[in-house]
Structure 1
Amino acid sequence: MSLIISNIALHFLTKKEETGEVVLRLGPENVAASSKIESFVDALHKIYNSKGSKAYGHFSAMPAQGDKARFVDIMESYLGDSQSFHQFSSQAGNLLKNELEKYDLAETGYLIVCHYEYMGGRYLLAAIIPISEHYSVDGDLHISADQHLDTNKLQLAARIDLFDYQNNAQGNRYISFIKGRAGRKVSDFFLDFLSCEEGLNSKEQTQTLVQAVEDYVAVNQFDANEKQHSRKELLSYCKEQKESAQDVSLQEISHVIKTEESGQDFYKFCQEQSYPIEESFPHDQAVVNKVTKYAGYGNGISLSFERSHFGQDVVYNPANESITIYKVPPNLKDQLLALLESNANQSTSQSQAITSELSSEGSENEY
């Protein structure tokens, strides 16, 4: 396993229903990094990496108010060996407790604070993991209920790249955090807990990258196949970087989308065009996924197709807002033919029923 745990702490946050008071229960002082805990942190690391809705930031330069310590202050005390990891994580738990009370939120669960190394990187992860109930059956067929850490529902988590922070404290992206589905108020509370400000906009950087690639293949007069190949290579490269939690690099992309016929390489092209883009950055995979496909959903209709089909097998008419598909997928074609046949049979049955009813009425009138 490529993961090495330096320290880990587990605390529990709950809220009294009667008073709304947030209660922090501290975990044990020394948690041994057993193989089970290593496997748990490894899984948590991968789940965090897979989250697409992440943003990036840095610690706020605003000084602490009164005698209130900031997260960065207590973290520095730990990293400088002025206090133990348990003291640091306990103080972090109290900071989080105060923010929960201030925002009057119901977000409770287990607070995980972990200092670890992975593939040469050093990280500090802070996350609230919600609790879910599950059921089990024993040998006597007795059903019992229990609780577990539901890591798949991880939404409140942030990770500090300690190498980046210590080597570039003036940077704007050494903190990453999950953003989006948990809601703006919840995100704000977690940022306040860390005294963090948003910095690098990953989505904007990725949108600029995609536009730069489109400009590059157009200026170098790539044909349709070369353009689509370049887009697929970009998508494949970005997926690999995402899976390994690595930044995308303009210089590496230059080798990915270069062809023998293309003159200027992509990296120099970006420099000359002065795109507002970092030489390397954590990208937004959701933006890159759109380079090879168009997709949309609304009013009960879902449609997606590869970009290379646009204008040939899929034609859009903006005048009447219609889309014509010339090569219908076989499985969809079978469903449509079955539906037409079913409708035709239903129509025939209805016609026969009406004819029969009219015949009966005619017979009654004769009498």
Structure 2
Amino acid sequence: MSINLNHFIIHGLKHNSQDQFVCVFQEEELPQSDAANQLIEELHIRFNAKPSKGIGRFAEQSESQFVEQLAQWQEYPESYVGFSQQTIRAIGEKMHEYGLANDCYVLMAEYQYVAQRFLLIAELPIKEKVTCSDSLELSRLRFLDADAMQLAVRLDLMALESNDESNYAVFIKGRAGRKVADFFLDSLAIEEAVDRKAQAEELAQVVNDYCSQHVEQKDVQAELKKEVVSFCKEQQVAGEQVNVGELSHAISGPAEVSFSDFISGSESQLPDAIEPEIKTLQRMTRFSGTGKGVSISFDAALMGGRVRYDATYDRLTIDEIPPNLKEQILKQLQSD
């Protein structure tokens, strides 16, 4: 991976014993180093791989001064330290306003990847571990927990410069949904603009319609759906949008009507480039569910064959259950 790091700084956010909000500022940028580049590369990969992300843009009305401060920094690049301090102070104030008192580091990095230029703003939790030295002395080590990154916004600076409003702000929604990230987005004047889950549901519906109308063989339908999910996953990992035209080339082989032509002739509201939520999209290829002590997952292609559903009795029948599951059941029956 080729990352060119231009600006890099880390500040701290803490709450003291009186529950007072405290900023711990760096007064100068961190030096360029292999460790810094490696950290940003890791965060770039982890950010792309996050399954639940939102797409946003700057709100027309907001109390935040971030947009003006960003524009000022773009005009005067040497003001990066002051710009980062203003940003972290705003994030900390919103965090305190929302009643969140966790200590953390906030990283701000401006870097180039291929032909793109990004500004990454990420909250990284503080983690402590006990270490043992060569002389068998114990000590506590505090470090950045990059694996636990759950709050981050990445701005596409080139898209902003070209006034391309389609996809210049991408953010992690967090494990518990968008509300976890509210204070983070509010401090940066960002509002969600695109519903990735809705895009995934729309794409899945279009693919299902395409398969049912133009692909007769069930096994070919299943393979096409897997190719769609795989293609979208690859684009997500690369940090790229899914171009519907490119997707059409990937799945149109067995049918006389291309996927792009099918979309053009349908009532689909899909734009030319989308960022579907992979978790939702995977429902095309796999059924799964958990409830009342039962967890079930199986390939969608098995429905109607080895797996059958009786709607009258709300009953699922599975033929040829997995050998390891069968072994556990028989062992339990023999012991009863």
Deviations 1:153-207 (A, max 9, x none): 11111110112222235x2531111114256554221111111111011111111
Residue in 2 that maps onto 1:22 = 21
Structure 1 residue runs of 4 or more that deviate by more than 4 Å after TM superposition: 182-185
Aligned partner (choices 216, 231, 235) of residue 229 of structure 2: 235
Aligned partner (choices 294, 305, 313) of residue 298 of structure 2: 305
Offset, 1:152? 1.4
Residue in 1 that maps onto 2:85 = 90
Amino acid at match of 2:98: Y
The residue matched to 2:226 in structure 1 has which SS? Answer: helix
Greater RCO, 1 or 2 (C-alpha within 8 Å, sep 6+): 2
The residue matched to 1:130 in structure 2 has which SS? Answer: strand
Aligned partner (choices 153, 158, 175) of residue 158 of structure 1: 153
CA contact (8 A) 2:104 2:126 kept: yes
Identity %: 32
**Which aligned pairs between 1:163-242 and structure 2 lie closer than 5 A?**
163-169=158-164, 171-181=165-175, 185-242=179-236
Distance 2:2 2:104 in 1: 28
Count the aligned residue pairs.
336
Offset, 1:115? 0.4
Residue in 2 that maps onto 1:324 = 317
Residue in 1 that maps onto 2:123 = 128
Unpaired segments ≥5 residues, structure 2: none
Distance 2:291 2:179 in 1: 28
Residue 225 and residue 208 in structure 1: after superposition, are their counterparts in 2 closer, same or farther (change >3 A)?
same
Deviations 1:266-302 (A, max 9, x none): 1121121131111112221101222111111111111
Residue 45 and residue 104 in structure 1: after superposition, are their counterparts in 2 closer, same or farther (change >3 A)?
same
Residue in 1 that maps onto 2:276 = 283
CA contact (8 A) 2:244 2:274 kept: no
The residue matched to 1:84 in structure 2 has which SS? Answer: helix
Residue in 1 that maps onto 2:142 = 147
Q: CA RMSD in A?
A: 1.7
Residue in 2 that maps onto 1:112 = 107
Deviations 1:44-91 (A, max 9, x none): 1111112111111101122x65xxx61111111111126521111111
The reply to whether residue 38 of structure 1 matches residue 41 of structure 2 is no
TM-score, structure 2 as length reference: 0.95
Offset, 1:101? 3.1
Residue in 1 that maps onto 2:262 = 269
The residue matched to 1:245 in structure 2 has which SS? Answer: coil
Distance 1:155 1:113 in 2: 15
Residue in 1 that maps onto 2:66 = 71
Amino acid at match of 1:29: E
Distance 1:240 1:161 in 2: 20
Unpaired segments ≥5 residues, structure 1: 344-367
Distance 2:57 2:50 in 1: 19
